[in-house]
Homo-oligomer: A and B are copies of this chain.
Amino acid sequence: MSLTDLSGRVALGIDVGGTNTKFGVVNHRGEVLEKGRIKTDDYAEVEDFVDALYENIRPLIEKFGTKASFDGVGIGIPNGNYYTGTVEQAPNLPWKGIIPFADLITAKFALPCSITNDANAAALGEMLFGAARGMKDFIMITLGTGVGSGIVANGSLIYGHDGFAGELGHTIVKPGGRKHWSTGSEGSLEAYASATGIAITAKKMRAEFPSSMLNQYPEDAINSKTVYECASKGDPIAIEVFRYTGQKLGEALANFVMFSSPEAILLFGGVIKAGDFILKPAKLHMERNLLPIFRDKVKLVFSELDEADAAILGASALVWEQKSK
């Protein structure tokens, strides 16, 4: 860390997840200068959480001498609404109802605060510091426990009229298909392409094929990591689990491409560790479902950001993006 970095402008990036909250001090070059974390689910009340966050971040702020170096706080948080600064009915957070999250942060930190959902923050991070640098049109898909997305068109995030745009994980890829464990919808992308969805597919397929290596694990050990282990060892059923997942993902991606014609689709999150097992069928089925004018044009790539820092970078990008408008 150079003196130049310390004397320059910085932003606070905070990534609030259901279990952990990560935070960091980020400079204009996208370097995470300081970082830390607290447990999200230790705090039943959001006010206690914000207090704890402040107590943990204060030493970092003091290290930089003055709050005046900070341009603001950017936060990625499930169901975070950019327009209203509220978090609304987030199923994976301990706090229910409509929470004025940005206001709570500003009141405590005395800094301007912008929030958005975690996938939008990730998209911003990629645009400013990652694989989407210089792109004006791209789609970020996060494949984790759930499937999230952030859509950039004409160089700006699409928030929609109410701040809730980009719920691509909940678009239907197979009408009347697999029922979603939480929303109840049938055949959504998330029901197939999330880590949760992959585990469901794997459990079904191993039951049909007793010879599959997947049957060597207890039920609760079946997840995208163990499926990957079996696929890497050549188990055809594990490979088929990812191929099927990739197909559903690719079919969905084709529809997204015909919507906003992005230069690239960026994939991010734990599921992409499956690599070509998912990427190749996803690419194949995306191309097959596209009109000829869209074919062989869209880059389908993995995020370049270090996963540990990406969420913090993305959240801090919200501060820079805000200021550049």
Which A residues fall within an 8 A CB radius of B?
A: 79, 88-89, 135-137, 151, 153-154, 156, 158-168, 170-175, 183, 185, 251, 254-256, 258-263, 289, 291-294, 297
Contacts and interface: CB of A to CB of B under 8 A. Distances in A.
Given A154-B154, A165-B153, A165-B259, A291 B137 contact: no
A207 to B, nearest CB: 24
A175 B171 CA distance: 14
5 A-B pairs with least C-beta separation: A160-B261, A165-B261, A161-B263, A137-B161, A171-B255
Given A89-B293, A161-B136, A293-B88, A259 B151 contact: yes
A154 B151 contact: no
Contacts of A183: 291-292
A255 B166 contact: no
Given A164-B293, A293-B164, A256 B258 contact: no
Contact of A261 (B162, B171, B185): B162
Contacts of A259: 151, 158, 165-168, 171, 256, 259-260
A120 to B, nearest CB: 12
A258 B162 contact: no
25 contacts: A135-B161, A136-B161, A137-B161, A151-B259, A153-B154, A153-B165, A154-B159, A158-B259, A158-B261, A159-B261, A162-B297, A163-B261, A164-B261, A166-B258, A167-B291, A168-B258, A171-B259, A172-B251, A183-B291, A183-B292, A185-B289, A185-B291, A255-B255, A259-B259, A259-B260
A161 B89 contact: no
A153 B164 contact: no
Majority secondary structure, A binding face:
loop
Determine which residue in A164, A251, A258 has the highest number of CB atoms from chain B within 10 A of its CB, and name it: A258
Contacts of A256: 259
A166 to B, nearest CB: 7
B260 A158 contact: yes
Contacts of A136: 161
A163 to B, nearest CB: 8
A138 to B, nearest CB: 8
Contacts of A163: 261
Nearest to A167: B258
Nearest to A138: B161
B158 A153 contact: yes
Contact of A156 (B154, B162, B185, B292): B154
B175 A174 contact: yes
A255 B153 contact: no
A158 B153 CA distance: 7
A86 to B, nearest CB: 12
A156 to B, nearest CB: 5
A153 B259 CA distance: 12
A103 B23 CA distance: 53
Contacts of A137: 160-161, 165
A261 B170 CA distance: 13
